[in-house]
Structure 1
Amino acid sequence: MMFNRLIFGLCAGLLSVSSLVWGYADPGACSGDCWAHDPALIRRSSDGTYFRFNTGSEIGIWKSSALTGPWVYEGAVLPNGSSIDLAGNTDCWAPDVHLVGSTYILYYAVSTSGSQTSAIGYATSTTMEYGSWTDHGTTGISSTSAKPYNAIDPNLIESGTSYYMTFGSFWDDIYQAPMNSGATAVAGSSYQIAYNASGTHSLEGSFMYYRSGYYYLFFSSGICCGYDTSKPATGSEYKIFVCRSASVSGPFVDAAGKNCVSGGGGTLVLASHDYVYGPGGQGVMADPTYGTVLYYHYANTNIGLADSEYQFGWNTIGWSSGWPTV
């Protein structure tokens, strides 16, 4: 979810932008080390400790006793890089973390900027602490120029007793594949679940969340990075959209009823506002204090636009219309 759009994000393309709100709440409080890029957020079930993982290097680990911080950097998940033998295996992207049974599984992507030679790997831990992670290499989901998709930005969703991996970025956008019972290996063919036919096909960073009979497919679209050196045309920067379906595999539609594969559907959830610029790389979690939370990274215009200055953002989600608003 990080670097492919540096090359291909010259034009964000047009989605059917049906927005449910005209204004957005500012991000919730964050103290300590709040740098973030493509954050993955999870709360440890045994003691309530929060862990945050970020794109870059060997996947960083941050800990906090509260969602608001103070966040403290602990070290890297993969201090020796990934065992996947591809370029970029010491600069892994887009972590996604889930508790499966009694084991935490962290999924990550190996790729390089602008490349379709990519793979999704995974590591496991029973505590998520620094030094506790074991890398297992590939899940079997990979891509080359012969594939219609790019195998990055993994996200796991459980549906009943089955697991599915959603992934993809540019090319033909978002795909999904069934996983085995342990959620560690692909168990079937991939299929497309979201697509923007316009421009550069700029959908990526998918994250699926189940609520009240619907699977909500969140994704980022637009130019993600390099704002300090080449700021996009207004409206072309990163923003967060959503589609939903009663089935984990679709078909997905937006709030206006437009199909999210064939109709260019996508309802806008969060875009630039006030000091928040280019929010994206999002996820959703149920928090015991704040309710359902949308979390993401963004450039804070009061701090700077460089990738190295991106901040961790979060907002409580409202569901009064059946669709998420912040």
Structure 2
Amino acid sequence: MPGRRRHPRGPRAALTAAACAALLLGPPPTAQAADDRPGPRPVAGDVTGAVTGDIEVHDPSAIRLEDGTYVVYSTHNGIEARTSTDGVHWKRAGSAFRSQPAWWRAYSAESDPWAPEVLHRGGTYWLYYAVSSFGSNHSAIGLATSPTGLPGTWEDRGVVFSSTTTDDYNAIDPGVVEGGGRLWMSFGSHWTGIRMVELDRRTGTVKPGAPVHHLATRPDAPYAVEAPSLVKRGAYYYLFVSYDRCCAGTDSTYNIRVGRATSPTGPYTDRDGTPMTEGGGELLLASQGRYVGPGGQSVLRDRGGRAGRDVLVHHYYDAEDGGVPKLALRALRWDDAGWPAVGR
């Protein structure tokens, strides 16, 4: 159904608001059986080790704070937060917001925010997030800032961008990237796919009169592409997206795709040169054994961890635990042609 997911609450529900988690390390994604792959291997002091503790999340976004603490923010409950000192053991740490901004009610009857994007720039932490309701593109992306990035310290700055039922896009799932002295925000779910607008570098809000660029879509209804996340590496911008069906437990068919471009506004193409506006997208990660429907991804650029790795952060549905959505952190490696793959 176009518009986005709704996750019933409950600690062990298949679509729980925030989900259990485990860290996956292994070779590039294939359909091979789980017992053919090496299992998780803890690595002390690095986020690419097996995770433990209170690790139920959905639509995760992770950051390493200046004091070395790792934080994962996720969908629901005022943007849920979990922290870790080593990237291995996680504990629940409240929510980003201490109270609900009044404007949330205009877009969500439950005042329930989704799909955060957390980043650090200019000495300030920035948190973008979506407020909407299932199946609707009457949606908005909000912004909050914090001096520390810790839960409970965020000050809401209001609506950054919104969409209405007359628009052919959906203003949810923000993903922000900086490059060439400019700041850009991707967004979108179903409808006509992934879009982008330019942000003001000083305020983090949309530039007045900024055009809406088109980055990716699928050729057939319901145009199931969402959750854009952008990374600049070398000469390229990389667009990570989730294809197909989210939020259906073990019936989920989510998979993660990627394309790249030399400009933040595209055109993004896969390895074969197929434009992502025509359904292209290099497969990065699909269901593997118990790990069903990976998606809702972001990329942690962990420059403080061992060797300064890039880490793919996403959720999946655990087929051996009733379809509970769980967190995964996978090291990203880059091949000689500059394409990402998951593994060590």
Is the CA contact (8 Å cut-off) linking 1:38 and 1:297 kept in structure 2? yes
The 1-side partners of 2:310 and 2:38 are apart by 15
The corresponding residue for 1:118 is 139
Q: Using the TM superposition, give the Cα deviation of residue 214 of structure 1 relative to its aligned residue in structure 2, in angstroms.
A: 0.7
Residue in structure 2 matched with residue 9 of structure 1 by the alignment: none
Letter in 2 for 1:217: L
**What's the CA shift for 1:144?**
0.7
Shift of 1:100: 2.1
Structure 2: which amino acid aligns with 1:4?
Answer: R
Give, as a single letter, the amino acid of the residue that structure 2 aligns with 1:56: H
Against the structure 1 CA distance between its residues 226 and 3, is the aligned structure 2 distance closer, same or farther, given a 3 Å change threshold? farther
Give the equivalent residue in structure 1 for 2:291. 276
Contact 2:97 2:151 in 1 (8 A): no
| Matched-pair contact (CA < 8 Å) for 1:83–1:135 | no
1:60 matched residue in structure 2: 80
Amino acid at match of 1:301: A
1:42 pairs with 2:63: yes
Counterpart of 1:97, as a letter, is V
**Could you tell me which residue of structure 2 aligns to residue 316 of structure 1?**
331
One-letter amino acid of the structure 2 residue matched with residue 316 of structure 1? A
- SS of residue matched to 1:94: strand
Q: Residue in 2 aligned with 1:293?
A: 311
User: Which residue identity is paired with 1:134?
Assistant: E
Cα deviation for residue 133 of structure 1 reads 1.2
User: Contact 2:300/2:310 (CA < 8 Å) preserved in 1?
Assistant: yes
Give how far 1:21 is off: 5.3
Cα pair distance change 1:276/1:117, threshold 3 Å: same
Equivalence map 1:235-246=2 (5 Å): 237-246=253-262
Q: TM-score, structure 2 length as denominator?
A: 0.82
* Structure 1 equivalent of residue 201 of structure 2: 181
Bigger shift: 287-296 or 218-227?
287-296
SS of alignment partner, residue 72 of structure 1:
strand
Aligned residue for 1:121, secondary structure, equals strand
Is residue 260 from structure 1 mapped to residue 276 from structure 2 by the alignment? yes
Tell me, which stretches of 5 or more residues in structure 2 are unaligned?
7-27, 41-48
Q: Which moved more, 1:83-92 or 1:150-159?
A: 83-92
CA contact (8 A) 2:297 2:312 kept: yes
The separation in 1 between residues aligned to 2:38 and 2:98, in whole angstroms, is 37
CA distance in 2, matches of 1:179, 1:215: 17
CA distance in 2 between counterparts of 1:3 and 1:32 reads: 32
1:30 is matched with 51
Equivalent AA in structure 1 for residue 243 of structure 2: S
> 2: distance between equivalents of 1:220 and 1:51?
22
Q: Give matches, 1:1-326, under 5 Å.
A: 4=4, 22=30, 28-45=49-66, 47-68=67-88, 70-84=89-103, 85-88=105-108, 90-139=111-160, 141-187=161-207, 188-227=210-249, 231=251, 237-261=253-277, 263-287=278-302, 288-289=305-306, 291-305=309-323, 309-320=324-335, 321-326=337-342
User: Deviations 1:239-274 (Å, cap 9, x if unpaired)?
Assistant: 10001001111111001110111x321111001002
Gap change, CA 1:252 and 1:25, over 3 Å in 2: farther
Indicate conservation of the 8 Å contact 1:83/1:136, yes or no: no
Match of 1:17 in 2: none
Distance 1:193 1:303, change over 3 A: same
Deviates more, 1:81-90 or 1:97-106: 81-90
Shift in alpha-carbon separation, 1:183–1:278, aligned structure 2, 3 A: farther
Residues 38 and 21 (structure 1), Cα distance of their counterparts in 2 relative to 1, 3 Å cut: closer
**In the TM superposition, what is the alpha-carbon distance from 1:5 to its structure 2 partner?**
5.1
Whole-angstrom CA distance in 2 between matches of 1:26 and 1:39: 22
Which deviates more, 190-199 or 73-82? 73-82
- Structure 1 SS opposite 2:116: strand
Aligned length: 300
Distance 1:282 1:268 in 2: 13
Aligned residues of 1:292 and 1:317 also touching (Cα < 8 A): yes
Cα shift at 1:226: 2.6
Separation of aligned partners in 2, 1:312 and 1:26: 15
The code of the aligned residue for 1:257 comes to G
Residues 26 and 255 of structure 1, relative CA distance in 2, 3 Å threshold: farther
| TM-score normalised by the chain length of structure 1 | 0.87
Q: Is the 8 A contact 2:216 2:276 kept in 1?
A: yes
Q: Which runs of 5+ in 1 are unaligned?
A: 7-19
